[in-house]
């Protein structure tokens, strides 16, 4: 039981970060109707920003969130405005070509990182990277011994705060409501006077900022290298499919489910089987729940 609870806690903490990554891709998918396959490479850029802020100026990776997120937002805005928007305007180009464009952007980012920073593995050796909080320290008569890693807990708290801030932005601000309207029905949004082109630019910037922030939250406990982005693009893609295309609430549940499933797989099957578990969830979602978690939430009347 102790091992199961410990694994469950680790899975929830990891799932919170996965959800943050998935929400970024889901937002872009909901508004633009394309999968951004440069998503993980944008996260890699955010991780390099956090790494160099720590190496050059001694800035804690968690504080680098406030530096990396704005930088990634403007990078996303520039990518959308000058690279993706011109492709969207060409009616003869298929939607698949827009996805291929994001693949090319990801390759450029990964190769630029290799040229500028080499392919060496890097990390931020913060003092608390191996620290943990133990339940017995606060509850001496606890029936079981459970622990929470400092990096996992702090990263999870940051992810929750960022997610709540995003919810407030989307639900309470005019720009957020315009983004939601664009995602639900572009034609209706245009009729209501929404600047759809601007919302697309803002959304791509926002999705990039979210994954850049996630990179800062991951780097205290992960190694960094230029080709890192591919695996996180795959994770975000699985979460987007599992949660339901364009559903932010579905992405949150999808991230948590994937994090818990990977943690359980790593504990009870083997560390090397975690990616296999990820693939199994992806296939199961396509076969048994093609509409994703969003389809279940829709039946219960939960808003996306």
pLDDT tens-place string over residues 232-244: 999 999 999 898 8
Indicate which CATH number applies to the domain containing 221.
Answer: 1.10.3470
Instruction: Report pLDDT for 277.
Output: 76
Any domain includes 199: yes
Instruction: Report pLDDT for 146.
Output: 78
**Burial class of residue 80 (count of CB atoms within 10 Å of its CB; 0-12, 13-18, 19+):** buried
> Hey, how many other C-beta atoms are within 10 angstroms of the C-beta on 245?
17
Any domain includes 136: no
- Work out the mean pLDDT of the chain and round it to a whole number: 88
How many domains, in total, are found in the chain? 1
Any domain includes 231: yes
**Burial class of residue 20 (count of CB atoms within 10 Å of its CB; 0-12, 13-18, 19+):** buried
- Which residues in 85-107 are b (16+ Cβ under 10 Å) and which e? eeebeeeeeeeeebeebbeebbe
Instruction: Report pLDDT for 92.
Output: 55
Among 105, 100, 114, 123, which Cα is nearest to 227's? 114
pLDDT > 90 in the chain, percent: 53
Compute the average pLDDT of residues 54-78: 96
Among 114-123, 168-177, 287-296, whose mean pLDDT is lowest? 287-296
User: What letter would DSSP give residue 294?
Assistant: H
Dist. CA 191–CA 239, nearest whole Å: 32
Instruction: Report pLDDT for 99.
Output: 82
Any domain includes 141: no
263 touches 8 (CB < 8 A): yes
Instruction: Report pLDDT for 141.
Output: 61
Give Cα separations from 90 to 93, 162, 204, 212 (angstroms).
6, 35, 19, 29
Any domain includes 274: yes
pTM of the model: 0.91
Residue of higher predicted confidence among 138 and 286:
286
Residues contacting residue 274 through CB under 8 Å, at least 6 positions apart: 262, 265, 266
Dist. CA 254–CA 266, nearest whole Å: 18
Any domain includes 168: yes
Residue of higher predicted confidence among 33 and 55:
55
Render pLDDT for 186-244 as a digit per residue (tens, 0 to 9): 888 888 888 988 999 999 999 999 999 999 999 998 899 999 999 999 999 999 989 88
pLDDT of residue 304 exceeding 60, the answer is no
Compute the average pLDDT of residues 12-16: 93
Any domain includes 125: no
Instruction: Report pLDDT for 224.
Output: 94
Please give the residue range of the domain that contains residue 231: 2-119+146-303
pLDDT of residue 303 exceeding 60, the answer is no
**Burial class of residue 171 (count of CB atoms within 10 Å of its CB; 0-12, 13-18, 19+):** exposed
Confidence label for 302 from pLDDT (cuts 50, 70 and 90)? low
Render pLDDT for 232-284 as a digit per residue (tens, 0 to 9): 999 999 999 898 877 888 999 999 999 998 888 888 888 777 777 788 888 88
Confidence label for 56 from pLDDT (cuts 50, 70 and 90)? very high
Compute the average pLDDT of residues 284-296: 82
Any domain includes 137: no
């Amino acid at each position: 039981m102790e091992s199961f609870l410990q694994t469950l806690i680790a899975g929830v903490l990891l799932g919170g970060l996965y959800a943050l990554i998935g929400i970024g891709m889901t937002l872009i998918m909901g508004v633009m109707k394309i999968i951004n396959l440069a998503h993980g490479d944008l996260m890699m850029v955010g991780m390099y920003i956090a790494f160099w802020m720590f190496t050059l100026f001694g800035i804690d990776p968690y504080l680098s969130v406030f530096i990396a997120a704005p930088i990634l937002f403007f990078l996303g805005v520039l990518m959308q405005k000058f690279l993706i928007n011109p492709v969207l305007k060409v009616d003869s180009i298929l939607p698949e070509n827009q996805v291929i464009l994001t693949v090319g952007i990801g390759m450029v980012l990964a190769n630029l990182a290799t040229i500028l920073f080499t392919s060496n593995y890097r990390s931020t050796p913060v003092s608390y990277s191996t620290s943990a909080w133990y339940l017995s320290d606060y509850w001496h008569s606890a029936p079981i011994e459970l622990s929470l890693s400092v990096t996992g807990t702090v990263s999870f708290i940051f992810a929750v705060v960022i997610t709540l801030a995003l919810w407030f932005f989307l639900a309470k601000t005019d720009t957020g409501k315009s983004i939601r309207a664009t995602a639900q029905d572009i034609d209706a949004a245009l009729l209501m006077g929404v600047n759809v082109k601007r919302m697309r630019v803002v959304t791509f910037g926002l999705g990039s900022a979210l994954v850049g922030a996630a990179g800062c939250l991951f780097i205290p406990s992960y190694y960094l290298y230029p080709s890192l982005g591919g695996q996180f693009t795959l994770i975000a893609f699985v979460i987007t499919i599992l949660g339901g295309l364009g559903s932010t609430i579905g992405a949150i549940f999808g991230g948590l489910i994937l994090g818990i499933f990977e943690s359980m797989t790593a504990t009870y099957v083997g560390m090397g089987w975690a990616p296999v578990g990820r693939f199994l969830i992806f296939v199961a979602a396509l076969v048994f729940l093609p509409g994703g978690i969003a389809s279940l939430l829709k039946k219960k009347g939960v808003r996306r």
